[in-house]
Amino acid sequence: MAGPGDEMAATENLGRRELRASHADRERVIGTLKAAFVQGMLAKSEFDQRVGQAFASRTCAELAALTADLQVEPVTARSAQPARRGEQPVLRPGPMLAVGTAIYASVWAFAAVPPWPVSSEGDPPRAIIMLVFLSTLIYLLVSAISVGNMVADRIQRRAARRPVPGPGGR
């Protein structure tokens, strides 16, 4: 038994089917066709034919006819990178560089501020000189690793923004 709400919905649906199809309507139908193709419900030739018909369709009724025989489940988006198991996350380069800079500055403060016994020429002990020299080398190494991580992270983000190739390598 149909009620007044059913008649209104049928009238709205009929009115919607007679409307001209928008670009978004066509894209939605093409997305459904893509999902059907990926799930093996359509052959490549039939998929191409229906996509061509979707672009040529003028009304929503013509678009609805293209997917009327398909029961398609939505396809979940895949990530650009395959899941890696057992790999530890890389430290963020900013905090790593900040810690390295703080340690390097404290070594310089340690070497320069306290009154060290000096030699007859006024030079500090060799241990302090070696400490400053080694801390400089380690700081340069940490800086190079941090910059390398920043570059690698940027490259990875740019690669993730690129679209994943679909069927046929397009």
pLDDT tens-place string over residues 53-107: 999 999 988 988 988 888 876 655 554 555 555 555 656 777 878 888 888 888 8
Contact between residue 54 and residue 33 where contact means Cβ atoms under 8 Å apart: yes
In percent, the amount of the chain with pLDDT more than 70 equals 72
Q: What is the pLDDT of residue 11?
A: 45
Q: What is the pLDDT of residue 167?
A: 62
- Per-residue pLDDT, averaged over 22-51, amounts to 90
Q: Going by C-beta distance under 8 Å and a sequence separation of 6 or more, which residues neighbour residue 4?
A: none
Query: What type of residue is 72?
Result: V
| Cα 55 from Cα 119, distance rounded (Å) | 88
Q: What is the pLDDT of residue 10?
A: 45
- 3-state SS assignment for residue 86: coil
pLDDT band at 39, cuts 50/70/90? confident
Q: How many residues does the chain have?
A: 170
Residue 134 tokens read as 């080694």
Q: How far is CA 119 from CA 98, 125, 148, in A?
A: 35, 7, 42
- 3-state SS assignment for residue 59: strand
Name the pTM for this structure.
Answer: 0.40
pLDDT band at 125, cuts 50/70/90? confident
Tell which wins on pLDDT, 16 or 136.
136
| Cα 82 from Cα 78, distance rounded (Å) | 9
Tell which wins on pLDDT, 29 or 126.
29
